[in-house]
Amino acid sequence: MKRKVLDIFTFLVFLFFDFVDVVLCVTYQLLDQFLEAKPFPCYCGNKEEMKELSETLVGRENVFREMGFLRFAGKLLEFGKKKEKGGVINGGLGNRWSDCGCDSCVSWIKESNQRLHVVVTEFPQDEPRRETSENVIFLHGFLSSSSFWTQIVFKHLSEPLKQQMYRLIAVDLLGFGKSPKPNESLYTLKDHVEMIEKSVIFPYELSSFHLVAHSMGCTIALALAAKYPMLVKSVTLVAPAYFSDAKDGTRSSMVLNKVARKTLWPPLAFGKSIMSWYEHLGRFSCFIICKNHTTWERIFMLFTKRREVSFIVKDLTKHTHHSAWHNMHNVICGGSKFMDDYVEILVNAKVKVRVIHGDQDSTTPLQGSTNLKIKFPRVELNIVQNADHSSVILHRKRDFAKTLQHIWAASTYD
């Protein structure tokens, strides 16, 4: 009985959110027409699926949108289009009026050569550079940055890596951290791979490399590795979002329901469902939180009595709504339908693929990695007991570093 009451209450809450999202859709279209030189259309009225885009962008159901509520606002919007636009931004390079404009958030716009922010660390640091180095590219997960690796993992790798020269390359993925967040980008897997090529593989002239990725970064790592199977020595995937129990035509929608199902509890899952299902409510949330992140950081320090805010907390707001929205749908959801093809390419090329997954992971359940192992027996699966999506690394930094060293060494001497 309690379960039924909760289900009804949840349905009513999200029905209300359906209505609010439609109202915000009209509101934002009017504001964008007056405040932006080149407004960007939303996906509410666009039902046409494009090849590289996830069907979840246009396939999210909304009761009021399906009833035609947006058509009633058509004349008002047409009237707005006839007005002269003042335009506070030009084209797709600058941030939108609803995004943060502080120096740290827009510093990438000032760069003439738009490349990803990359942090490079070489071990051992007290020895001259050798040509026979091992290159390792680290890719972070959703709402994170290169700091996830540099602050947590790199310091525990310094001691084990004295036998061989290593160059560790941590990347801020497109749309996150200090990397570019262009509004004209749709943040597809192709976009991510091309930016990593432009920012890492080509300028550093990598002839071989290892890949280490967490969460969303795993999908991008597989796409990159599948393009360069002859250069990749090993691929380590930590908590990948792999779902194989759906047909290709519905897999993206199934992934959205799995990783961001509509629920009121716990709070983190509730926030994830709002940000993933509601384009305009998500933008409103980013307007309140991300645009004013410096104020929230000061409030956080005041209540916690800390002198600084953890990089993990800061990274949660280092994105625009446009970048986070498209990464969720085009990488996490849409990218899932390509993962089998990528893994098959790597297995056929005899690239070592290792998956590390916590048995308590509720964000990307262990069952997905288990299914991956069943489908591709040559993939190695390491199940970490009593670990969830983050603690699989955060609570076992030294062990994780040792595991990486073992994987790299085994791949090097094979």
**CA angle at residue 283 from 84 to 267, to 5 degrees?**
165
User: pLDDT by residue (tens digit) across 330-372?
Assistant: 999 999 999 999 999 999 999 999 999 999 999 999 999 999 9
pLDDT of residue 79: 47
pLDDT of residue 392: 97
Residues with Cβ < 8 Å from 102, sequence gap 6 or more? 293, 294
pLDDT of residue 93: 55
208 counts as catalytic? no
Average pLDDT for 75-85:
48
User: pLDDT by residue (tens digit) across 112-144?
Assistant: 778 999 999 987 666 555 555 799 999 999 999
> Among 140, 280, 321, 357, which one carries the catalytic annotation?
140
pLDDT of residue 107: 87
> Among 215, 273, 276, 411, which one carries the catalytic annotation?
215
> Among 329, 361, 369, 390, which one carries the catalytic annotation?
361
Identity at 53, one-letter amino acid code: L
361 counts as catalytic? yes
Q: Give bridge partners of residue 384 from the DSSP assignment.
A: 358
Whether pLDDT at 67 is above 90: no
The pLDDT-based confidence of 34 (bands split at 50, 70, 90) is confident
pLDDT of residue 344: 97
User: Crossing angle for the helix pair 267-277 and 2-35, nearest 10 degrees?
Assistant: 50
Across 2-11, 174-183, 257-266, 402-411, the highest mean pLDDT is recorded for: 174-183
3-state secondary structure of 340: helix
Task: Name the phi and psi angles at 96, rounded to 5.
Answer: -80, 165
Evaluate if pTM is beyond 0.85: yes
> Among 276, 389, 390, 411, which one carries the catalytic annotation?
389
140 counts as catalytic? yes
Query: If you average pLDDT over every residue of the chain, what do you get?
Result: 88
Whether pLDDT at 146 is above 50: yes
117 counts as catalytic? no
Would you call the peptide bond into 266 cis, given omega within 30 degrees of 0 as the criterion?
yes
